[in-house]
A and B are shown apart, each in its own frame.
Chain A
Amino acid sequence: MDPTSEQLLWMYEKMIEIREYEETMAKVYLEGKLPPKIQKGLAFDIGAGPVPGEMHLAAGQEPVAVGVCAHLRREDTVVGAHRPHHFAIAKDVDLFAMTSEMFGKANGLGKGKGGHMHLFDPAVKFSCSGIVGAGAPQACGAALAAKKLGKDWVAVSFFGEGAANQGSFHEALNLASLWKLPAIFVCEDNKYGISVEKSASTAIASNADRAAGYGMPGVLVDRNDAVAVFEAAGEAVARARRGEGPTLIEVKTDRYLGHFQGDPETYRPKNEAQHLREHDPIVVLGAQLRARGELDDGRDAALRAAISERVQAAYEHGRNSPYPAPEDALLHVFAA
């Protein structure tokens, strides 16, 4: 399935938006976390600054999110993992409410209760979790619901190659195949689960090969390329909508930043990330668009400026919004 010019442009813009979002967060996150403003003796304080806690960014992994979400509608479900921003942005999660959430503000998606690993936007059927491997079974449930309700909705579970060694992944694949669920399992192979390389954690080279064990198609996208992901996902989504069951896709992608911000990254070669950046998928797609006559310097600059304005406005919104009242901690344990 070849992408239309419109789809290519959508993916291009979304990738730029994601990249700007993540790179802005990398800076904002550091605010207030470094000496001399922190407790004496510390090199970094994870709990300080306007965006405290852990922060897992997805710069470099944009093709996976946009290549899949280009095929999705509002009614389709996406379940992300602990590194969720690129999926959220590609699924059109409210950027302002999502950013407020990361600042812990009252007008955030979760009113400040969830934070960056726990984003819920039911309006576009997006959720995620900080527990590795938790998403795939939940995507099965969304797909089961679509089937029971007689809808042609699909459910996508995104997770890392590390999560593919979790029991829940294998249970979910069997369930989805057994029940012929309209589910798509998308594994982002960014080579690492924190510090552990895939070769040291996974008995086979490609998780796509595991699909055979569950009687479903397994597709390996062996390059970090939005169009290649788009093609594989297009078939998988169409198959799911036709009621023919699930697909497992593994994409070889690149993690430009640390596992989390503040990661010393002593486990990987010093210039590895720099080398990865030499094959920037945004640049690649930009060149394709130019070759098709869809993009020139003027248009590129204009769309980048518009995206930047939107992203920066989201950050200002998050930063300037009010905190919840402390005792609001007691609200929302149960549904009203």
Chain B
Amino acid sequence: MSTASKVRKLSMAEAISEGIGQEMARDERVFVMGEDIGKYGGIFSATTGLLDKFGPDRIMDTPISETGFMGAAIGAAAEGLRPISELMFVDFFGVCFDQIYNHLAKNTYMSGGACKFPVVITTGIGGGYNDAAQHSQCLYGLFAHVPGLKVVVPSNAYDAKGLMIQAIRDDNPVVFMYHKGIMGLSWMSYFEGSTNEVPTESYTIPFGQAKVVREGSDVTIVTLSQMVQKSLLAADKLAAEGIEAEVVDLRTLVPLDKETVLRSVAKTGRLLVADEDYLSFGVSGEISAIIAEQLNHLKLKAPVRRLAVPDVPIPFSRPLEQFAIPQVDGIAAAVRDLMKLTID
């Protein structure tokens, strides 16, 4: 890091908008489209301050016409521009998914690599504040399932800025998913670990590099997004009981850093996947499969365990939602159970 650089604490929302702003200043081709991203600054503050800096030609409020502006991002990217398209909640993508999974994700492939689509899609994910079934999902597994989309799911401000700049510079479509409960908003409770030190200057974090955010020898918790913060709190509790958990933050799902996962599980011999997406057919299954495929040279001390939303839509009522979405205590309990298991 150069000596001129300064480091201060930023919320994840501030880090994201700073990253976008720095890229917009560097590269005229970058612009942002989305609902309430201008005067409002983005419902989750991911574009706060950018309208004043760059004006309405580059910070474009759109009508509620998601197929329209997601499709427009594809067309503009094909012409060499670098659009960022925000759709405030991931739950809303149903209305425009064709543009994404049949076009944005596939056009490079179908053109035999002749066309490129440097689009960044940003969206808010996650529950925990009782916004119910249509405003609380994670769904990153859905995007990661479709070949051709890179998927970024940061857990803190430092990573978010570097990954955002990396996303904008990538020549491929990137879906950048920020959990609302770690954005550091003034109107939603959040996990303090997500607000951390961020350098003022621009920097990138390469995709496909998971991070061991806490070292431990007894068990590996593979996780992502807000669940990283929850897992770290659970690991603190467990440490007090003498269980040392290693926490792996995946940071990007596509590309996925299998090596770091495998290395950690080889070390601890135990794996818990802690995920806020639905349990079945998703991230937790994928990570478990990676381990299963390596069992010929990986020695486990216990079977793999998964903690995720138990295949129900996210319910509204507080006790129901707290039950459906894995919490800190649930992670700790799952690890304790895992520690009791053996393989005979």
Contact = CB atoms under 8 A, between A and B. Distances in A.
A and B interact: yes
Interface of A: 38-39, 41-48, 52-54, 101, 104-105, 108, 110, 112-115, 117-118, 129-133, 162-163, 165-168, 193-196, 200-202, 262, 266-267, 323-330, 333
Contacts of A324: 317, 319-320
Contact of A133 (B64, B133, B317): B64
Given A112-B316, A201-B64, A326-B319, 4 more contacts: A130-B134, A162-B64, A195-B61, A333-B313
Closest 7 CB pairs of A and B: A104-B317, A47-B129, A115-B316, A112-B317, A52-B130, A326-B323, A165-B63
A333 B133 CA distance: 12
Nearest to B39: A267
B189 A193 contact: no
A46 B317 contact: no
16 contacts: A38-B189, A42-B187, A46-B129, A53-B316, A54-B131, A104-B318, A104-B320, A163-B64, A166-B65, A195-B39, A195-B40, A196-B36, A196-B38, A329-B323, A330-B310, A333-B311
Given A39-B189, A42-B187, A53-B129, A133 B312 contact: no
A112 B64 CA distance: 29
Contacts of A328: 320
A115 B64 contact: no
Nearest to A165: B63
Given A39-B189, A166-B95, A115 B132 contact: yes
B133 A196 contact: no
A42 B191 CA distance: 12
A114 B319 CA distance: 13
A323 B318 contact: yes
Nearest to A265: B40
Interface residues of B, number: 45
A15 to B, nearest CB: 28
Q: Decide if the interface of chain B is mainly helix, strand, loop or mixed.
A: loop
B273 interface: no
A329 B92 contact: no
Nearest to B43: A194
A333 B36 CA distance: 33
Nearest to B61: A196
Interface of B: 35-36, 38-40, 43, 61-68, 91-92, 94-95, 128-135, 186-190, 310-313, 315-324
Contact of A267 (B40, B62, B65, B189): B40
Nearest to A105: B317
B130 A104 contact: yes
B94 to A, nearest CB: 7
A162 B270 CA distance: 51
Contact of B187 (A105, A168, A262, A323): A262
Given A53-B130, A165-B64, A167-B65, A48 B94 contact: no
Contacts of A47: 128-130, 188-189
Contact of A167 (B95, B130, B316, B318): B95
B320 A333 contact: no
A219 B312 CA distance: 42
B307 to A, nearest CB: 15
Nearest to A200: B61
Contacts of B131: 46, 53-54, 115
B149 to A, nearest CB: 22
Given A52-B318, A329-B312, A165 B65 contact: yes
A327 B188 CA distance: 25
Contacts of A52: 129-130, 318
Nearest to B136: A53
Contacts of A195: 36, 38-40, 61
Contact of B134 (A118, A323, A330): A118
Contacts of A130: 91, 132, 134-135
Contacts of B61: 195-196, 200-201
A42 B186 contact: yes
Contacts of B190: 39
Contacts of B94: 131
Given A118-B133, A201-B64, A45 B188 contact: yes
Contacts of B321: 329
A130 B320 CA distance: 19
Contacts of A325: 319
A333 B318 CA distance: 18
Nearest to A263: B40
Contacts of A333: 311-313
Contacts of A110: 316
A54 B124 CA distance: 15
A53 B95 contact: no
Contacts of B186: 41-44
Contacts of B129: 46-47, 52-53
Contacts of A196: 35-36, 38, 61, 63
A129 B187 contact: no
A163 B66 CA distance: 11
A110 B316 CA distance: 9
Contacts of A42: 186-189
Nearest to A39: B189
Contact of B133 (A41, A114, A194, A323): A114
A194 B128 contact: no
Contacts of A45: 187-189
Contacts of B322: 326
Given A324-B319, A329-B323, A118 B188 contact: no
A165 B61 CA distance: 13
A57 B22 CA distance: 38
B95 to A, nearest CB: 7
A324 B91 CA distance: 25
A48 B63 contact: no
Given A133-B64, A329-B312, A112 B320 contact: yes
A329 B324 contact: yes
A213 to B, nearest CB: 16
